[in-house]
Amino acid sequence: MFHNFRILLTAVAIGGVSLAAIPAPAAAEEFPNGPIEVINNSKPGGGSDIFLRFATEQAAEILGTSFIHQSKTGGVATNTLNYVADKPANGQTLFIVNAGTALTMMRGSVDLTKDDIVPLVRGTIDPEFIVVKAGRFTDAAEFIAYAQSNPVKQAGTKVGGNPHVSALIMRDAIGMSDQVYVPFEKSGEIVINIINRNVDVALLNYDEFISQANAGEVEALAILTPERSANAPDIPTGHEVGIPVDIAVVRGIGVLKGTPEPVIKKLETALLESMNSDGYLEYLAGSGQDASSIAGREAFGAQFEAMYEGYQAVAKDLLGG
């Protein structure tokens, strides 16, 4: 109610200049017209929610409006995308674009397809590390040899979701003889079960295992990126050790296709500026990333496309297709 009231106030303020502006399509000057909604598919306090809060924080000031964050959980990103699909393409509604978004669209459980959205900006690209109990394998080569001839229990989250897809990509890259996927709710449980040897291996992000790596309980055998990370220069890349795949948690913000070009431009500029602020860069540093994680429409669009195709190959198994 109050939120309509605020929209009304803004509308009156803007409408004071030109009263006839109501039915006309929103041009860039009139954008934003009231608070901008940001829809995510994680619970309040979840990874995507926190990413969006940090990413949009400065943009509120730059655009002179406020951001309202809403969680529409359920069916990976089904409820998020269904909610977004009903909204007009005017830039007033933004949404999370991540692997879950791609997977949900692939499943066809929503009306939106990848051609209906514009991946606007990328905010994080958090590489995955292959993590095992410290001292169990001397190096990645030994692990690969072990996995090719022994059954491997791999821990992860969300069966049938994107983490599982990542595990399958890893399985195929290594040529594992038998992979048993043991699902857990949280990454903390995964680390503990690696330490007490209930499971053999897991794909984890830097901030999920680094405390225990420093304590000498677990170690990372490889980082699944094209180049070594500045945070952990001693850890070889997957390409160096014979697991030539790149897996990372990619998160970005999208907008509906059909949004006027000037509005998209304005949003992209504002969000990029917002994410290049100190606050956001500190957020990135928390998970061992830097400004290179941030990217605009062109780079992110291409990456989303590639991600979509990469998943399609493995996901066939998962979707029962």
Partner 1 sequence: MSTSQTHAKPIDRTLLFESIFIMVFATAMFATTYTFDKVPAILAQGIQPTVFPRAVLVVMFLLAALQAFKATRLTPQQVSDLKPVKAVPPIVFLTAGLLMAFAALMPIIGTFPAIVLFLPALALLWGERRGLLMSLSFLGFLGFAYVLFGLIMNVPLP
Partner 2 sequence: MEAFFLVLQFLADPYHLAIIAGGTLVGLIVGALPGLGSVILIALMLPFVVRMDPTTGIALCAIVYCATTYGGSITAILINTPGTPAAAMTTFDGFPLAQKGEAGRALGIATFSSAIGGILGILVMIVATPLLAQVAYQFGPAEFFALAVFGMSMLASISGASMTKNFIGGAFGILLATVGTDLTTGVQRFTFGQPDLYEGVAVVQIMIGIFAGGELLRQATQAHLKRRLIAAGVTKLPSREDFRRIWKTVLRSTGIGTFIGILPAEGGKVAAMIAYNEEQRWNKKRRGQFGKGAIEGVAAPEAANNAATGGTMVPTLALGIPGGGSTAIILTAMLILGLRPGPQLFVEQPNLLAGIFGAMLGANICFLVYGMVGAKFFSRITLVPTTILWPCVICLACLGAYSFQQSMFDVGVMVFFACLGYFLNRHGYAPAPIVMGLILGELIETSLKQSYLIYDGNLFAILQQPIAAMFLLLSMFGLCGPLIAKAIGAYRDRQAAHLRGNDE
Are 99 and 250 within 8 A, CB to CB?
yes
Out of 85, 88, 279, 292, point to the residue binding partner 2 (CB under 8 A): 279
* Number of alpha carbons in the 13 Å side-chain half-sphere of residue 179: 23
Q: Is 308 in the site for partner 1 (CB under 8 A)?
A: no
The rounded distance, in Å, linking the Cα atoms of 228 and 222 is 9
Q: Is 37 in the site for partner 1 (CB under 8 A)?
A: yes
Nearer to partner 1, 69 or 257 (CB): 69
* Type of residue numbered 183: P
Out of 134, 173, 195, 245, point to the residue binding partner 2 (CB under 8 A): 195
Closest CA to 192 of 209, 207, 205, 167: 209
Are 106 and 311 within 8 A, CB to CB?
yes
Out of 15, 160, 242, 262, point to the residue binding partner 1 (CB under 8 A): 160
Nearer to partner 2, 73 or 269 (CB): 73
Nearer to partner 2, 26 or 194 (CB): 194
**Which option in partner 2, partner 1, none does residue 305 bind, with CB closer than 5 to 8 A by kind?**
none
Number of H helices and number of E strands within the chain?
Answer: 12, 9
Out of 35, 183, 242, 296, point to the residue binding partner 2 (CB under 8 A): 183
* Number of alpha carbons in the 13 Å side-chain half-sphere of residue 145: 6
**Which option in partner 2, partner 1, none does residue 234 bind, with CB closer than 5 to 8 A by kind?**
none
Q: Is 320 in the site for partner 1 (CB under 8 A)?
A: yes
Distances (CA, A) of 139 to 133, 158, 173, 214: 12, 28, 17, 17
Out of 11, 15, 30, 53, point to the residue binding partner 2 (CB under 8 A): 53
Query: Which residues here bind partner 1, judged by CB under 8 A?
Result: 1-4, 37, 66, 68, 70, 159-160, 168, 180-181, 317-320
